[in-house]
């Protein structure tokens, strides 16, 4: 039973630290978005597209097992980005984020995007100080995801349904997908997006701006 | 430090159990395939397509966080399938598989597919008695996956590059993908597949049959 009690301790300690970090970020109106989604779902593309559309400064903390491909890409686009490599760990946690924030030093009245590890399972379990979780799915990955990975959908503040430019070429049952989403999270906003073309990103950016204004 | 030593113990104990299970499966020539890949990558579709093409009986153990959508689908196609729901856990382990095998009772000279949890990170760390790991990627998910999730690529016995029917509509840099694969796993077989049309699956089935013959 020692393994279980240690796991509970890790979760509880993380929740407490997450609340404290969230209060600090709120005080400075740094609206913090925990971006979650499977590998290759388009997390970096969505973040990049949103930052272009937001009328406030933005910074990004990039979580990856290994590599700094996404960080280099964002830095080339002129975005302040800090890389975390977990070296195998499957999600980010508060101590990693707190260290990153000490380096990034987000400005007051800004957005902070935290791109979590590409994984629909583990990141959903750990708060990292965020004000909202932005969950990304894609029409290329089937319509059954809410049924198979319920926690991520239950905890999402907004859901981006990405790669909608490929809708004509795939079998995606939108009604089945939405029924699964609504059973877990009746009021969550769901936006159809194509990060490749930018379609739908204005609507997501407007929601984030509204949410940030509600904070201050 | 107690967390780290417990984690090491879990890994070591799992490795020992995996070797024992693998020996039992080898004795009966039950060629066991650990199917890994991100959520929505097409794991069930690939398994279903392969089983139709194999000239030996097959059974499937389905790992999911929640839901039995894939099990029902395979059972409707006449495939012997056993469902494991991990209730949150992000990978399968040997005790779960051993229990399932006691129920499934695979025939001698057969294939056993184990569909792991949709996750590119955690399943790569745990052996579950398999003879090979079949890793599935997709051209819709970008060409940088080997760089970002190296362990899964390093450990793969065969890599299926799925959703190739969508190649005309996406930006997939095959040379960059293959350079990443080869750096981690110089000799692994990589097969371009479209599970939707069945293209490429004959080649994967032939490789599995050859591998099973080498076992007996």
How far is it, in rounded angstroms, from Cα B41 to Cα B164?
12
| Contacting residues of A for B118, CB less than 8 Å apart | 38, 120-121, 148-149
Q: Report the candidate in B121, B111, B97 with the shortest Cα–Cα distance to residue B36.
A: B121
How far is it, in rounded angstroms, from Cα A45 to Cα A23?
29
Q: Give the model's pLDDT for residue A4.
A: 59
**Residue A170 to residues A136, B57, B143, Cα–Cα distance (Å):** 18, 31, 20
Q: Do A66 and B147 touch (CB under 8 A)?
A: yes
pLDDT digits (tens, 9 = 90+) for B132-185: 999 999 999 999 999 999 999 999 999 999 999 999 999 999 999 999 999 999
Q: Do A64 and B121 touch (CB under 8 A)?
A: no
**Residue B155 to residues A119, B30, B132, B151, B188, Cα–Cα distance (Å):** 19, 20, 9, 6, 9
Q: Give the model's pLDDT for residue A11.
A: 82
Residues whose CB is less than 8 angstroms from the CB of residue A172 and which lie 6 or more positions away in sequence, other chains included: A139, A140, A142, A143
pLDDT digits (tens, 9 = 90+) for A152-172: 999 999 999 999 999 999 999
**Residue A216 binned pLDDT confidence (cut-offs 50, 70, 90):** confident
Phi and psi dihedrals of A140, rounded to 5? -80, -10
pLDDT digits (tens, 9 = 90+) for B171-189: 999 999 999 999 999 999 9
Considering only CB atoms, A66 lies closest to which of B10, B69, B150, namely: B150
ipTM score of the complex?
A: 0.90
Q: Do A40 and B38 touch (CB under 8 A)?
A: yes
Checking if the pLDDT of A61 tops 80, the result is: yes
Checking if the pLDDT of B216 tops 80, the result is: no
Q: Identify whether the C-beta of residue B211 lies closer than 8 Å to the C-beta of residue B203.
A: no
Q: Give the model's pLDDT for residue B1.
A: 41
Checking if the pLDDT of A151 tops 50, the result is: yes
Q: Report the candidate in A191, A184, A186, A128 with the shortest Cα–Cα distance to residue A151.
A: A184
Q: Identify whether the C-beta of residue B120 lies closer than 8 Å to the C-beta of residue B36.
A: yes
At B177, which helix (H) or strand (E)?
A: helix B174-184
Q: Which residue has the higher pLDDT, A13 or A187?
A: A187
Checking if the pLDDT of A3 tops 70, the result is: no
Residues, chain B: 216
How far is it, in rounded angstroms, from Cα A151 to Cα B40?
16
The structure's pTM equals 0.93
pLDDT digits (tens, 9 = 90+) for A28-47: 999 999 999 999 999 999 99
At B131, which helix (H) or strand (E)?
A: none
**Please, is B161 exposed, middle or buried when counting C-beta atoms within 10 Å of its C-beta (0-12, 13-18, 19+)?**
buried
Q: Is the dihedral of CA A135, A138, A139, A143 positive or negative?
A: negative
**Residue A5 binned pLDDT confidence (cut-offs 50, 70, 90):** low
Phi and psi dihedrals of B61, rounded to 5? -110, 120
Decide if B98 touches A, using CB distance below 8 A.
no
pLDDT digits (tens, 9 = 90+) for A117-129: 999 989 999 999 9
Q: Identify whether the C-beta of residue A50 lies closer than 8 Å to the C-beta of residue A25.
A: no
Q: Do B39 and A38 touch (CB under 8 A)?
A: yes
**Residue B138 to residues A96, A121, A203, B18, B171, Cα–Cα distance (Å):** 30, 19, 28, 29, 12
Checking if the pLDDT of B71 tops 80, the result is: yes
How far is it, in rounded angstroms, from Cα B169 to Cα B192?
16
How far is it, in rounded angstroms, from Cα B100 to Cα B87?
16
Mean pLDDT value across residues B16-40: 97
How far is it, in rounded angstroms, from Cα B149 to Cα A119?
11
Q: Give the model's pLDDT for residue A1.
A: 41
Decide if A84 touches B, using CB distance below 8 A.
no
**Residue B21 binned pLDDT confidence (cut-offs 50, 70, 90):** very high
| Contacting residues of B for A88, CB less than 8 Å apart | 121, 125, 151
Checking if the pLDDT of B4 tops 80, the result is: no
- Return the percentage of chain B with pLDDT > 90, whole number: 89
């Amino acid at each position: 039973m020692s393994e279980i009690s240690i796991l509970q301790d890790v979760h509880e300690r993380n929740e407490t630290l997450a609340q404290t970090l969230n209060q600090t970020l709120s005080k400075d109106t740094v609206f913090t978005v925990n971006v979650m989604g499977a590998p290759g779902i388009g997390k970096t593309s969505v973040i990049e597209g949103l930052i272009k559309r937001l009328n406030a400064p933005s910074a990004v903390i990039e979580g990856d097992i290994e590599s700094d491909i996404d960080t280099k890409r964002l830095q080339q686009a002129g975005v302040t980005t800090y890389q975390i490599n977990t070296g195998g760990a499957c999600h980010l946690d508060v101590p990693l984020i707190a260290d990153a924030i000490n380096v990034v030093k987000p400005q007051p009245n800004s957005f902070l995007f935290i791109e979590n590890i590409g994984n629909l399972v583990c990141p959903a379990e750990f708060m990292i100080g965020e004000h909202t979780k932005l969950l990304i799915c894609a029409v290329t990955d089937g319509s059954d995801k809410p049924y198979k990975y319920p926690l991520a959908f239950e905890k999402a503040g907004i859901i981006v349904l990405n790669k909608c430019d490929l809708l004509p070429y795939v079998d995606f049952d939108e009604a089945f997908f939405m029924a699964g989403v609504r059973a877990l999270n009746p009021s969550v906003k769901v936006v159809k997006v194509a990060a490749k073309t930018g379609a739908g990103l204005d609507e997501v950016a407007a929601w984030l701006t509204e949410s940030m204004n509600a904070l201050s």
